[in-house]
Chains A and B, each alone.
Chain A
Amino acid sequence: MTGVERMALSTQPGNWVANVLRFVRPRDVAAEDYCNLCSAPLAANHPHLVEPAKHRLLCVCRGCATLLGNRDDNRYRAVPEYARRLEDFRMTDAEWDVFAIPIGLAFFVRSTPDRRIVAFYPGPAGSTESLLDLRAWAQLVAGNPILAALEPDIEALLVNRVKGAREYYLAPIDRCYALVGLIRTKWHGLSGGEEAWKAIDEFFAGLHELRDNAGACRHG
């Protein structure tokens, strides 16, 4: 027997929270959209927590994000909601070339468990970690002091130098993973294909705006 049928007959209010949420957020409650910590159904634009020690990104409800995201023990860290374009960022082509990253897209994260800066670039197989020239990074920080304030584990320097672009962002880490997911699913052949590039353009256009439904969840 299933409870749902019985609950309809009960004189008790039953699973009223689930019933309200199912009506209010019908598109959001899909098979896997549950809070990774408390199993509450999730909205599409749910927040994320990083568990640095386990290199994990968790989809969570607002309650868990608020209650667990900013504790002193730093077991979980709340991912910021917004990306910030760094208008005054300075990086020459020569400085970029030193990093030897094969594509004009990359993100740099200060990793607490690894105790260093880690660089990733997206590709059709997911994200690839790049061995970083630490002197080159130090030089970049010297020229752009804002990088010293990069929040470890939850925020990245996102670099977009494809097709002549020279854009730099302080981006929430979940958005960086979203970009990786996007490229993994849309990239075809050697050059990526029109669809992939269109998706990448849209991603960066959307990065200026508020966290939207599309960007927040596609980090798989």
Chain B
Amino acid sequence: MSTGNGEDPQQALHRLQELIRVLDAHPDPAAKETTRELLALVLDLHGIGLAKLMGIVTAAEDGTSILARLVEDKQVEAMLLLHGLHPDDLETRVRRAVERLRPHLGVHGLRLDVVEIASGTVRLRVHGRSAAMIKAPLLWMLPGEIEDAVVEAAPDIEKILIDGLDLEEAAAAVRAAE
């Protein structure tokens, strides 16, 4: 690719969102609309072709093993996620990410559960020791760690809510304990 610099996927995705923010705030509505339509059209062209490609792969004799190899590649996986063609649905991917977080949280006496996944919103809950018992740095880091892990597996979610980690309540409890 010439100027796109899609070599580093992380960097490309950051740039992608930056450009979208710029366009979203563009003062010229016609230019914004044209760009939006252009992007939608290019995405559709790729999406339709990819959907057919995935249909062919799925129907193949060793389709399941090919799919597994495809999603192992981060760039292929990102592309499938963008077009809603990932073989695992959103809920499966979220639950798997939560599963992977469990040992790490367990060390601190905490348990993470999926409360609800609906309409693009994921609601999780942290159970276990009261927030006041958790050391402050961990408490401050925890929401970010959970979110990063879940959103990396499911960048197509609209919103993530984590219950049971009220930072203000925890801070008040810490003050009271002192």
Our verdict on whether A and B bind, yes or no, reads: yes
**A residues near B, CB below 8 A?**
1-4, 6-7, 10, 12-21, 23-26, 31-32, 34-35, 37-41, 61-67, 70
Q: Quick check: A62 and B155 within 8 Å, CB to CB?
A: no
Tell me whether B129 is interfacial, beta carbon within 8 Å.
no
- B77–chain A nearest beta-carbon distance, Å: 11
Contact of B84 among A2, A24, A61 (CB under 8 A): A61
Contact, CB under 8 Å: A18 / B54 = no
CB-defined contacts of B89 to chain A, threshold 8 Å? 37-39
Q: Please determine whether B24 and A23 come into contact, CB atoms closer than 8 angstroms.
A: yes
* B162 proximity list for chain A (CB < 8 A): 1, 3
Q: Please, which residues of chain B bring their CB within 8 A of the CB of A31?
A: 119
Q: How far apart are the CA atoms of A38 and B159 in the complex, in Å?
A: 15
B141 → chain A closest CB, angstroms: 12
- A62 touching B48 by the CB < 8 A rule? yes
Task: Give B81's nearest chain A residue, CB to CB.
Answer: A17
**Interfacial chain B residues near A20, Cβ < 8 Å:** 16-17, 20, 43, 82
Chain B contacts of A65 at CB under 8 A? Answer: 51
Task: Given the known inter-chain contacts A1-B143, A1-B162, A63-B86, please indicate yes or no for A23 contacting B39, CB distance below 8 A.
Answer: yes
Instruction: Kindly supply a per-residue 1/0 record for chain B positions 78-95, scoring 1 wherever the CB is within 8 Å of any chain A CB and 0 otherwise.
Output: 000111111101110000
Chain A nearest Cβ from B144, distance in angstroms: 6
Known: A23-B20, A23-B24. A62 touches B47 (CB 8 A): yes
B32 and chain A: residue at smallest CB distance: A23
Interface readout for B15-56 with A: 1 if CB under 8 Å, 0 if not?
011001001100000000000100110010001100110110
A180 CB to closest chain B CB (Å) equals: 25
> Shortest CB–CB separation between residue A106 and chain B, in angstroms?
34
Partner of A6, one of B16, B36, B39, B144: B144
Q: A residues within 8 A CB of B40?
A: 24-25
Knowing that A34-B119, A63-B83 are A-B contacts, what are 13 other residue pairs whose CB atoms are under 8 Å apart, sorted by A's residue number?
A1-B165, A2-B160, A4-B160, A12-B151, A14-B151, A15-B154, A15-B160, A16-B155, A18-B120, A24-B39, A24-B40, A38-B89, A63-B86
| A18 in complex: contacting residue of B36, B58, B157, CB < 8 Å | B157
Given contacts A20-B82, A38-B90, contact A6 B51 (CB under 8 A): no
| A23 CB contact (under 8 Å) in B13, B23, B84 | B23
| Contact, CB under 8 Å: A15 / B86 | no
Closest chain A residue, CB of each to CB of B51: A66
Q: Is B148 among interface residues, defined by CB-CB distance under 8 A?
A: yes
